[in-house]
Amino acid sequence: MCAPSILLVDDEPSVLRYTRTCLETDSYHVETAASGEEALRKLQRGSAPNLILLDVVMPGMDGLKTLENCKKICPDQKVLMMSGCHDTSKVVQAIKLGAIDYLDKPLEAVQLKGAIRRVLESNGDDRRCEHSNNESAVIENLEDDLFFFAASPVMKQIHAQVALIARADVSVLLLGESGVGKEILARLIHKMSHRANRPLVRVNCAALPAELLESELFGYEAGAFTGAKSSKPGKFELAHSGTILLDEIGEMSVSLQAKLLHVLQDGRFARLGSRTSTRVDSRVVAATNIDIEKAIADHKLRQDLYYRLNAFTIPIPPLRERRQEIPLLLTRYMHSQAIKFGKRPLPVSDRLVRECLRYHWPGNLRELGNFTTRYLVLEDESLLVEELQSKVKGIDSEVATKRPSTPPTKKGLKAFVRSLKDDVEAKEIQSALEAAVWNRKSAAVQLGISYKALLYKIRQYGISVPVKPQSKRALADNVTGRIRKVGNEGC
């Protein structure tokens, strides 16, 4: 395999000499450029290094402008930034422009070589040697049996961004549908930051009304309101020197958003009922699944708060846009849930994977995890496959041909169709059970489903099964006797 090539860009000759010698001892092929302009000329003439080491502070065209122009010439070019200037805004800007990592000067040989090795091996992109390792997955184990998983290019890119932005002490806004893993990403940011040994405090802004949420966030003093017998610190104080996750921030009231904005601006707030302010050092990670532009236009989200939170935004794609991760996630969830429930992992067959790939997973990772748990508990692959097929079809032929006599309710067409399907399915199961004289095994054969699937659906629809099966004649006599008894009591 040929040696990876590196283009080293720095205006200091001593740094060029030291870094070049350091890298050449590890058999890297190193070219140098003393300015951003020279580096761009090399790229325009066809130079295709595996990695560019780029200094931020240079006379003339600085590193950020060089990075921006470099990405225009070669969008896939890997760039590793270096700087002795510890400016968080420059780190954020470098990430937004596409830098894959950021190193502080002075460079240490071990740190430099380790970072280069991670970058070159991160996705195997070696254009000269044509080496590829895109099938490898990134797994970060977190607390509470949670884990971050990345196998698709977009999720690997998010992991690289998190690894970089976690070191920069700025607020982060996580966007994505419900269940895509926003809390998991917040935990990963906290884990990779210098605040990792301090608390991570989560607040669900949609779970409490505005008055309670304010006291939950900022705390209160004794006597601040009826029932406040003693003072209580808020979540911001508990997250001091750590990280606070404001989940579902789009549900926070506008008046409370104004107070939150002041905390983000100067790091100070006052408890309810207090005349003095408290200073706090908490990193804020916010998460929401709302349409930001629409929320601002509808005055449900303050624009100035959005800009304050939007130091760095990470949109997380839904699971249906990274389907190649589903088979690997199924296996991962199966093993983690098996350990949790003390059971042996069940096989993940090609049939099950095929049906999972067909389904669109509106609940994303949360729904996939719950699906795996149900498979592990029920131990019936056929049942789960049938459910997936039913969801993909949306509605069976009988429901599709049925004309509704009443319009859909306010819950929407999807809920209306699902209720119709459930009604039809419950009636069919009821009819099959009656025809089989309440023999559930015979009814399962008649319906063409497994015995366990029938038991599950009986529980799902609340169908009452007699304890002792009776013949049709006995059932008829029993019903007739009850009718007569009720008639006599009514006389």
Q: How confident is the model at residue 368 (pLDDT cuts 50, 70, 90)?
A: very high
Taking only the tens place, the pLDDT of each residue in 116-161 is 887 787 644 333 333 333 346 888 888 877 899 998 888 988 998 8
Type of residue numbered 466 = P
- Look at residue 396 in the predicted model and tell me its pLDDT: 42
Query: Does 130 map to a domain?
Result: no
Q: Are residues 22 and 116 in the same domain?
A: yes
Higher pLDDT, 259 or 470: 259
Q: Cα torsion at 194, 196, 198, 203 (round to 10°)?
A: 110
Q: Are residues 251 and 367 in the same domain?
A: no
Q: What is the 3-state secondary structure (H, E, C) of 121-158?
A: HHCCCECCCCECCCCCCEEEECCCCCEEEECCHHHHHH
Among 79, 41, 87, smallest CA distance to 60 is for 41
Taking only the tens place, the pLDDT of each residue in 398-421 is 444 444 545 555 455 556 556 666
How large is the average pLDDT for residues 91-112?
80
Query: Does 134 map to a domain?
Result: no
Whether the bond into 318 is cis, omega within 30 of 0: no
Given a cut of 90, whether residue 185 has pLDDT beyond it is: yes
Mean predicted lDDT score pLDDT of the chain: 82
How large is the average pLDDT for residues 313-340?
90
Query: Does 132 map to a domain?
Result: no
Give residue 193's domain range: 139-315
Q: Are residues 298 and 185 in the same domain?
A: yes
Query: Which residues are within 8 A (CB) of 156 and not within 5 positions of it... i.e. 6 or more apart?
Result: 122, 123, 138, 150
Q: Are residues 39 and 147 in the same domain?
A: no
Percent of the chain with pLDDT over 70: 85
Given a cut of 60, whether residue 1 has pLDDT beyond it is: no
Spatial separation of the C-alpha atoms in residues 370 and 337, rounded to whole Å: 10
Given a cut of 80, whether residue 456 has pLDDT beyond it is: no
CATH number for the domain harbouring residue 114: 3.40.50.2300
Query: Does 404 map to a domain?
Result: no
Spatial separation of the C-alpha atoms in residues 7 and 22, rounded to whole Å: 14
Residue 411 phi/psi, 5-degree rounding, is -70, -15
- Look at residue 413 in the predicted model and tell me its pLDDT: 56
Residue 28: half-sphere exposure toward Cβ, Cα within 13 Å: 25
Among 303, 301, 267, smallest CA distance to 282 is for 267
- Look at residue 412 in the predicted model and tell me its pLDDT: 56
Q: How confident is the model at residue 465 (pLDDT cuts 50, 70, 90)?
A: low
Q: Are residues 157 and 287 in the same domain?
A: yes
Query: Does 131 map to a domain?
Result: no
Spatial separation of the C-alpha atoms in residues 395 and 401, rounded to whole Å: 10
Q: Are residues 347 and 294 in the same domain?
A: no
CATH number for the domain harbouring residue 440: 1.10.10.60
Taking only the tens place, the pLDDT of each residue in 209-257 is 888 899 999 999 888 887 788 888 999 999 999 999 999 999 999 989 9
Q: How confident is the model at residue 2 (pLDDT cuts 50, 70, 90)?
A: low
How large is the average pLDDT for residues 447-459?
78
Going by their DSSP bridges, the two strands 283-288 and 243-247 should be labelled as parallel
Given a cut of 50, whether residue 397 has pLDDT beyond it is: no
How large is the average pLDDT for residues 441-447?
78
Which of 329, 363, 393 terminates a domain? The answer is 393
Q: Are residues 153 and 205 in the same domain?
A: yes
Which of 364, 393, 422 terminates a domain? The answer is 393
- Look at residue 157 in the predicted model and tell me its pLDDT: 86
Given a cut of 70, whether residue 277 has pLDDT beyond it is: yes
Query: Does 127 map to a domain?
Result: no
Higher pLDDT, 10 or 422: 10
Q: Do residues 310 and 173 touch, judged by C-beta distance below 8 A?
A: yes
CATH number for the domain harbouring residue 386: 1.10.8.60
Higher pLDDT, 83 or 34: 34
Q: How confident is the model at residue 46 (pLDDT cuts 50, 70, 90)?
A: confident
Q: Do residues 354 and 388 touch, judged by C-beta distance below 8 A?
A: no
- Look at residue 414 in the predicted model and tell me its pLDDT: 55
349-388 as b/e: b if 16+ CB within 10 A: eeebeebbeebebebbbeebbebbbbbbebebbebbbbbb
Query: Does 133 map to a domain?
Result: no
Percent of the chain with pLDDT over 90: 30
Tokens representing 188 are: 């990963």
Spatial separation of the C-alpha atoms in residues 484 and 259, rounded to whole Å: 70
Query: Does 306 map to a domain?
Result: yes
Q: Are residues 163 and 275 in the same domain?
A: yes
Which of 343, 359, 393 terminates a domain? The answer is 393
Give the other-Cβ count within 10 Å of 67's Cβ. 24
Strand-pairing partners, residue 131, are 126
Q: Are residues 217 and 238 in the same domain?
A: yes
Q: What sign does the dihedral 300-301-304-305 (CA atoms) show? A: positive
Q: Are residues 118 and 179 in the same domain?
A: no
Question: For the chain, what is the domain count?
Answer: 4
- Look at residue 244 in the predicted model and tell me its pLDDT: 96
How large is the average pLDDT for residues 297-316?
90
Given a cut of 90, whether residue 477 has pLDDT beyond it is: no
Q: Are residues 12 and 118 in the same domain?
A: yes
- Look at residue 420 in the predicted model and tell me its pLDDT: 65
CATH number for the domain harbouring residue 196: 3.40.50.300
pTM of the model: 0.63
Q: How confident is the model at residue 100 (pLDDT cuts 50, 70, 90)?
A: confident
Q: Are residues 218 and 358 in the same domain?
A: no
